[in-house]
Amino acid sequence: MMIDGYVSQTGVGDVDTVARALSVMREASQLQRLLDAYFSSLNLSQLKFHILIVIDREPDMDSLRQSEINQRLDISKPVLHRTVGALLKDGLLVRRDDPEDSRAHRLALTDEGKTILAAILPGYFETISVFMEKQP
C-alpha cells in the first residue's frame, strides 16, 4: 500500500509489522462486509445474530438480562437496547419481567428466533469458510 513508504521516514516501528497490521485490517473489513451482506439479505445484522447466539448458547438458562448480554458482547447499552427492541418487534425475542429485580427484564428466544438462528448458521460458516479459502 502507499503508506509503507512513510514508516522509514518516521523511524518508528518496523515496516513488515505495520504492513501486516494493515493487511489484517483490510482482510477483516472485507469479511465483515461479506457477513453484513449475508445478514442484511435476511433482514438481520451481525449484532442481532450475536444477541441470538449468546442467549441460545447460555448454559443452564434460556434467557438473559440486557445487562448480561452487554457483558458478553462488548457493545454499548444504548445500541443493545435499540437492537433488542428490533428483535422484539420482529418476534425473535420475548421479554418478561425479572422476578428478582423490578428494574430488569429477561430476554428469551421465541420459537421463531430459534428457527431463524438455526437456519442462518450454515450460511454464516459457509461465508467465512469460502472467504478464508481465498486468502493467501
Partner DNA sequence: ACTCAATAGTTACCATGATAACCAAAGGAG
Partner DNA sequence: CTCCTTTGGTTATCATGGTAACTATTGAGT
Instruction: Based on the shown chain and the rule CB under 7 A, indicate whether residue 81 belongs to the binding site for DNA.
Output: yes
Rounded Cα distance between 120 and 9, Å, is 48
Q: How far is the CB of 14 from a second copy (least distance, A)?
A: 7
Q: How far is the CB of 32 from DNA (least distance, A)?
A: 9
Instruction: Based on the shown chain and the rule CB under 7 A, indicate whether residue 103 belongs to the binding site for DNA.
Output: yes
Task: Report whether 62 contacts 108 (CB < 8 A).
Answer: yes
- Alpha-carbon Rg for the chain, nearest whole angstrom, is 20
Among 6, 36, 77, 111, binds a second copy (CB under 8 A): 6
Task: Report whether 21 contacts 4 (CB < 8 A).
Answer: no
Instruction: Based on the shown chain and the rule CB under 8 A, indicate whether residue 37 belongs to the binding site for a second copy.
Output: no
Phi (first) and psi of residue 23, to 5 degrees: -65, -40
User: What track of x and - describes contact with DNA for positions 45 through 64 (by CB under 7 A)?
Assistant: xxx-----------------
Half-sphere exposure at residue 129, Cβ-oriented, CA atoms within 13 angstroms: 6
The DSSP element (H or E) to which 124 belongs, if any, is helix 111-134
- Partner touching 21 among a second copy, DNA, none, CB below 5 to 8 Å by kind: a second copy
Binding site for a second copy (CB under 8 A): 2-3, 5-7, 9-14, 17-18, 20-22, 24-25, 27-29, 31-32, 53-54, 57, 121-122, 125-126, 128-129, 131-133
